Structure 1
């Protein structure tokens, strides 16, 4: 299994090129039904639309439903354990609460987080608590 960072979700939907190894990993995980999308990413996408930072061809709810309808994609809720885990990640890690919750969710599920975020990659390199896959 693998958890997608919000930007990876947006890039996949838009057809923006990602690293070939990441694309292969996503296809492998899709076949096994193991590509996870956090409800935190849904919240983040809705927030980005509201703030005018991104535009979608549908309202965020319909857009997310269409994205999740793709074969091998599953949503995963934010658990209480991950929410609390996000609040206790070491500083200075990341000021973005969505990224902190995605990291904590990946840690809780013991699966990699697919991201291009340099701060998350640096954190993963400094600890064995979370794995990342570059995209």
Structure 2
């Protein structure tokens, strides 16, 4: 496999990775390669916000508080927090092409574009946007 860019985990990817759920072979191979090359798997701080929303809405059963779950993700081997910047937040409102309005997804896309990252996700909207060539994404 050719060297890929660093990876940015979508919230769903982080949850499934932490639970040991099935991941698509292409995503698993890219994450394994990143690990072998000692490149971090990036986890956006927006994921902490999304975990809070999921807990509040009862959309995800969590064994611990969202802050503890987020910290547990960061404790996974090779996972590193990806800070947000004013530029990324502004860019998330100015994305080219047609992208849906979910602010977290827009922030993930803007982060990946700004830092030359590939998003690992199951989110069909992000994957469709990637097919348009505006960002790289791998299905997980």
TM-score w.r.t. the length of structure 1 is 0.92
Q: Does residue 1:29 correspond to 2:44, yes or no?
A: no
Unaligned runs of 5+ in 1: none
Query: Structure 1, residues 111-133: CA drift from partner, whole Å, max 9, x if none?
Result: 11111222212211212x31111
Displacement after TM superposition at 1:90 (Å): 3.4
Preserved contact between residue 3 and residue 113 of structure 1 (Cα < 8 Å) = yes
In 2, Cα distance between the equivalents of 1:19 and 1:55?
A: 23
> Residues of 2 paired with 1:14 and 1:119: CA distance?
23
Matched residue SS, 1:114: strand
**3-state secondary structure, aligned to 2:47:** helix
Q: 2:3: which partner in 1?
A: none
C-alpha distance in 2, partners of 1:83/1:8? 21
Whether 1:3 aligns to 2:8 is yes
Could you tell me which residue of structure 2 aligns to residue 123 of structure 1?
Answer: 129
**TM-score, with normalisation over the residues of structure 2?**
0.89
Structure 1 distance, partners of 2:22, 2:10, is: 15
Deviations 1:29-56 (A, max 9, x none): 2341420000001110111111111111
Counterparts of 2:51 and 2:121 in 1: how far apart (Å)?
15
- Listed as ranges, the gaps of 5+ residues in structure 2 are 1-5
The answer on whether the counterparts of 1:33 and 1:71 sit within 8 Å (CA) in structure 2 is no
Match of 1:80 in 2: 86
Following TM superposition, the consecutive aligned residue runs of length 4 or more in structure 1 with deviations greater than 4 angstroms are none
The alignment partner of 1:30 has SS state of helix
Q: 1:48 and 2:48 equivalent?
A: no
Conserved? CA contact 2:10–2:119, under 8 Å: yes
Q: Matched residues in 2 for 1:82 and 1:119: separation?
A: 19
